[in-house]
Chain A
């Protein structure tokens, strides 16, 4: 068997085996899941170091099932396997994940399908795995809590992603038709251009599929809901890691590998990125719940990646991809800390938490590292990837995107100051006096990810040279010169941003009466913003809620009317006409012999006239 199949087949086989294991057994399910995830990680590392030959299987129609581990795919596979392994270890003794059997089933299935999507060279095969994730997205959320809210959110996630996956499907069919092949490596040899309408349509559909998977505005609205209605483990795994990795991976593939984009599309992408950054970070800043706050940041950070790729210059793309892996690392770590706090303290409500650093020093330390990384504080990994994105944005000449990204950074840091302060520092509430540190199985993956944040920061050249530059080279993008980039003037901008955020936090604290969880109230309840936030909390800007409440009922009522019209046309109308004609004809059947004779005569005359006329 080709090594390339192991990261796909092994998790799926293990997931199916899990279904046979009795629910009551202890540790067997956990060990099986962790074992499969770790073996897959080893296989992925092997594939990364020594790319195996392509694997082509005969499939359906003209579509070949080809797995191809080029640099970018192998990098992505490694990341997917790493997070799967980390999460499976983390979930070992975390009770807040729903039924263990189904949790691990979903986890392994998601891993196998995500690995397939990463490795598939044929877009049809990629779509197969990509869209297949939908089922497990639904069951993951629906089974994480036994209540209606979880099922409703699962439905929301399923529908948003299902609709955009259909867009992706249509996009892929058109792209494959235009290019004459569905193989990405073959299309890349002769990139498509956006010269005519069908190509633009195809690219836009592919882009919708990609950014929706990555969780960008306006397709993000299920993510904050899932933060409250599902488990921290799910959040750490799917929206924080897997979905981001796949979405940005395919966005990069579509934008620079399959298509040669033009200036307009670049602006569209950068605008989408900037809007995502700002909208989501504004929402994140005012959240009062640990997980929900993180979830908005998971959306906001996607904006940086889209912005980076949208610049279409090597520095920006490198930044986007680097940010993708960095974000997955620290956001997954942050969600893990939220899960640990939830397990140990019993809540994620910021107003009920405080001073946990002493009780949970390791969790606190991991939080501080990851929070510093997401806020772009030097010299952690997030700093470097953000700098690359800034530099790429500046190089396009559109300073506005650079400014938007910097404002995003300011608010990100501000909200993590608020979050960290209200959970880990300040006074500890009376009922949390007995809180203890989380178990080792939860700490180990957190420490690993926090360690990666440090390693990718202090040794930023390592991931850049090993992961990012080869990936770019694989997509035939010239090697960007990144050496010494963090010493230019952007460094001072970032210092100013940090200072501004700290000052903002102090002002907020003063305005909020020293309560850290109220440190955002001076912005939350500012004029105009207050009303906007109130509307947003009522989901007035949520395209899903708007669609389901207004557009879908309206359109379907209209269509239903059409259906009733056709029903009338084939049922009531012919019956009515038949009844009317029958009634009319009936009047001639009155038993009068002369009338019958007259009618017969008239009929005969008409027949003769017609017959003669025809000749």
Chain B
């Protein structure tokens, strides 16, 4: 068996099965459990990243476990899946490191680590699956893990929000299942490699889209995401910023970007939905006063920009969307982790009760500012390039209404992030004690994400070349 195939199996199997070993590691000691969880995260990242060499060399790696009736478990590493897996696993690893301090004084830690790693494993399975049915299976596994994680604190309110999360996403997933079954009856197979370039009926596409929108928290299924902000910040960071919401985006790219040729009218509908989503959630981000809800609304709004790129139907926009996934994961993950430090040290999530925190938390403040700048798309941060490419693609697409919607969305992004930063770190101090800076590991994690955002901008040539290669090799029906 080829090394790359071994790595592919490792990337999926290690976290999925490792997650079930975490309770046993916890029997040994807390430190052993924590170290084991972090190692699982790092190992998964390395395994996923090691595949980059193979796919960049123009090859793919595949592994098939045969099941009857064409429901084979097919793991397939190509440019898109390796990209997605590396980004997700990298942010997950950082979050696991940050968790060691963050989570240390709460209950149910073992379950927490097991669920985070299980989530990571299902994510790996999801992105590497080249069979729609298995994609669905892993999809539901991520939903299960996120349900347990959002309900990490066990109060009635938390549990209700966790239930909302799973009900909305499972509703979407079941719609998607119908769509997948329709595809099966139309084409007789669910192997995405065999379906490359095939057509898809409107009904099937619409059902699958419902699943995507609900997972990626896009209008009309967006509001579970801000509600899920009751979870610990690490979870919001993992689920809502970096990884979970990208599942829908990934599925869109995988199904409508590189497999089926999406009908034009369908893409246009997605564009309008995304535009409305960008505006509505940006407006909500300007009104809300809960730091994590604001960042979650911001995520909804930014996800819409990724959909803009994916659905614009040209190479520039598609490559921009791929870069957007990367830049947004890093920057938004950093913002949520900053919010975690702030929340833990000020004991509030209400931004009106903060103010003037920059003097007591300078490093967190700086990291927050740097990540915000990347989300706003200000050069020299990485976010500038992805935003520019997405807008370029939208201009090529030639839909003025959509372009104006997103211009307004980008303007509002500036407004709510500047407002947020000002309210938390500058402004008049509002009745908090003198909160301390976060612990060294926590502050180092957020600063690392902030600086990576900067480095991605400075070295944009490499990620951009990757995105271009991906688009040119795999893209279907792109101008």
Give the B-binding residues of A (Cβ under 8 A): 58-62, 124, 127-129, 131-132, 134-135, 142, 148, 151, 155, 158-159, 162-163, 166-167, 169-170, 173-174, 176-177, 198, 201, 552-553, 555-560, 562-563, 566-567, 569-571
Contacts and interface: CB of A to CB of B under 8 A. Distances in A.
Given A59-B464, A559-B284, A559-B286, 5 more contacts: A60-B461, A61-B316, A131-B378, A163-B414, A563-B222
A58 B468 CA distance: 13
B268 interface: no
A122 to B, nearest CB: 12
Nearest to B222: A566
A570 B168 contact: yes
B388 A127 contact: yes
Contacts of A135: 373, 378
Contact of A571 (B223, B280, B391, B428): B223
Interface string B215-247: 000011111100000000000000000000000
A328 to B, nearest CB: 24
B422 A131 contact: no
Contact of A570 (B220, B464, B465): B220
B380 A162 contact: no
B415 A560 contact: no
B414 A148 contact: no
B279 interface: yes
Given A127-B388, A173-B392, A176-B392, A560 B287 contact: yes
Interface of B: 164, 168, 219-224, 279-284, 286-288, 297, 316, 319-320, 373, 376, 378-380, 384-385, 387-389, 391-392, 394-396, 398, 400, 403, 407, 410-412, 414-415, 418, 422, 426-428, 460-461, 464-465, 468
A567 B418 CA distance: 26
Contacts of B219: 566
Contacts of B387: 169
Contacts, number: 128
Contacts of B288: 560
Nearest to B471: A61
Contact of B388 (A134, A148, A173, A201): A173
A61 B464 contact: yes
B414 A558 contact: no
Contact of B407 (A60, A142, A170, A552): A170
A371 to B, nearest CB: 37
Given A170-B407, A559-B283, A148 B427 contact: yes
A59 B164 contact: no
Given A61-B319, A148-B427, A566-B222, A129 B395 contact: no
Interface centre among A151, A166, A560, A571 (most CB of B within 10 A): A166
Contacts of B280: 559, 562-563, 566
B388 A162 contact: no
Contact of B223 (A129, A198, A567): A567
Contacts of A169: 387-388, 391
B283 A556 contact: yes
5 contacts: A61-B385, A131-B378, A166-B407, A556-B412, A563-B222
A47 to B, nearest CB: 23
A558 B283 contact: yes
A132 B380 contact: yes
Given A151-B422, A166-B411, A563 B378 contact: no
A132 B460 contact: no
B381 to A, nearest CB: 9
B168 A177 contact: no
A250 to B, nearest CB: 16
A414 to B, nearest CB: 39
Contact of A60 (B283, B286, B460): B460
B414 A566 contact: no
Given A62-B316, A555-B283, A560-B283, A131 B384 contact: yes
A557 B388 CA distance: 29
A70 to B, nearest CB: 23
Nearest to B220: A566
A401 B314 CA distance: 46
A135 B380 CA distance: 9
A471 B460 CA distance: 33
Contacts of B281: 563
Given A62-B316, A162-B414, A128 B464 contact: no
B464 A177 contact: no
Contacts of B319: 61
A176 B464 CA distance: 19
Contacts of B222: 563, 566
A59 B460 contact: yes
A486 B148 CA distance: 81
B411 A131 contact: no
A132 B414 contact: no
Given A135-B373, A176-B392, A570 B224 contact: yes
Given A127-B388, A555-B283, A177 B223 contact: no
Given A60-B460, A560-B287, A155 B223 contact: no
Given A60-B464, A148-B426, A170-B395, A569 B286 contact: no
Given A61-B319, A559-B284, A566 B418 contact: no
Contacts of A558: 283
Contacts of B403: 170
A59 B388 CA distance: 13
Contacts of B164: 571
A132 B284 contact: no
A119 B205 CA distance: 48
Chain A CB count within 10 A is highest, among B164, B224, B373, B388, for B388
A135 B381 CA distance: 11
B162 to A, nearest CB: 13
A238 B148 CA distance: 53
B226 to A, nearest CB: 9
Greatest chain A CB density within 10 A among B221, B398, B464, B465 is at B464
Nearest to A547: B415
A166 B238 CA distance: 29
A60 B456 CA distance: 11
A569 B379 CA distance: 39
Contacts of B220: 566, 569-570
A570 B226 CA distance: 14
Contacts of A560: 283-284, 286-288
10 smallest CB-CB distances across A and B, nearest first, come from A559-B283, A60-B464, A556-B286, A567-B223, A556-B283, A132-B379, A173-B395, A563-B284, A560-B287, A173-B392
B428 A129 contact: no
A433 B283 CA distance: 57
A357 B364 CA distance: 49
Contacts of A174: 395
B391 A562 contact: no
A142 B320 CA distance: 33
Contacts of B468: 61
A365 B220 CA distance: 68
A563 B281 CA distance: 7
A552 B286 contact: yes
A249 to B, nearest CB: 18
A135 B457 CA distance: 14
Given A159-B415, A170-B403, A563-B222, A131 B287 contact: no
A573 to B, nearest CB: 11
B378 A148 contact: no
Contacts of B287: 556-557, 560
Contacts of A162: 376, 378, 414, 418
Contacts of B380: 128, 132
A166 B461 contact: no
B389 A61 contact: yes
Contacts of B283: 555-560, 562-563
Nearest to B287: A560
Contacts of B428: 148
A217 B428 CA distance: 31
Nearest to B404: A170
B379 to A, nearest CB: 4
Nearest to A164: B411
